[in-house]
Amino acid sequence: MKLKDSLFTRRKFLNTLIGGWLTALGATIIQPVIKFIFPPYREPEEVILPAADYELPGPNSFKTFPWGSKPGILKRNDDGSLTAFVAVCTHLDCNVTYLPEQRKFYCACHDGWYDENGINIAGPPPRPLRRLDVIVEGEKIIIRRKGESA
């Protein structure tokens, strides 16, 4: 059936329909890629850990904990105090590991090294590891961004 006074031709209608479908498909594919490249990361103000789960047996022992979507390392010093670091390399955000037998942090991505205080000593890392404040209150360990108080 053909109308003389039609607003759209069949070709224009199908092109619009297919074009809209392809645009929606493209947006569906591109949106996760953009979120992967630019992740919406918000660093927490503080993390509260149960002291029983993060009991460190002796000097130079450590445990990892979640600091938002990044790892953190809680370490017992020789004097018995606790120190916490964001366990992410300052070069390219790779995860670092603590090697207690060497008393150093190591980034395997580009062979970066930090001493036991988080200070960069070898490799490409431009800055020391980010240090966090540690407060022990009874049965909980409170870890905050450096310099923030309650």
For 80-113, write each residue's pLDDT tens digit.
888 899 989 888 888 899 888 888 999 888 888 9
Output the CA–CA distances (angstroms, integers) from residue 103 to 34, 62, 99, 116, 138, in the order listed.
39, 11, 6, 5, 28
Q: Is residue 71 included in any domain, yes or no?
A: yes
Q: How far is Cα of residue 26 from the mean position of the Cα atoms in its chain?
A: 28
**25 membership: H or E segment, kind and range:** helix 10-37
Q: Is residue 150 included in any domain, yes or no?
A: no
Say yes or no: 50 and 19 in one domain.
no
Instruction: Report residue 135 as tokens.
Output: 């407060």
Q: What is the pLDDT of residue 50?
A: 84
Rounded to the nearest 5 percent, the helix, strand and coil shares of the chain are 20, 35, 45
Q: What is the pLDDT of residue 57?
A: 79
Q: What is the pLDDT of residue 81?
A: 85
Q: Is residue 109 included in any domain, yes or no?
A: yes
**Domain with 27 in it:** 6-40
* Predicted confidence (pLDDT) per residue in 33-84, tens digit: 888 888 776 778 888 888 888 787 788 888 889 888 888 999 888 888 888 9
Q: What is the pLDDT of residue 91?
A: 85
Q: Is residue 84 included in any domain, yes or no?
A: yes
Say yes or no: 110 and 79 in one domain.
yes
Tally the domains of the chain: 2
Say yes or no: 70 and 96 in one domain.
yes
* Cα–Cα distance measured from residue 79 to residue 15, given in angstroms and rounded to the nearest whole number: 74
Say yes or no: 79 and 94 in one domain.
yes
Say yes or no: 58 and 33 in one domain.
no
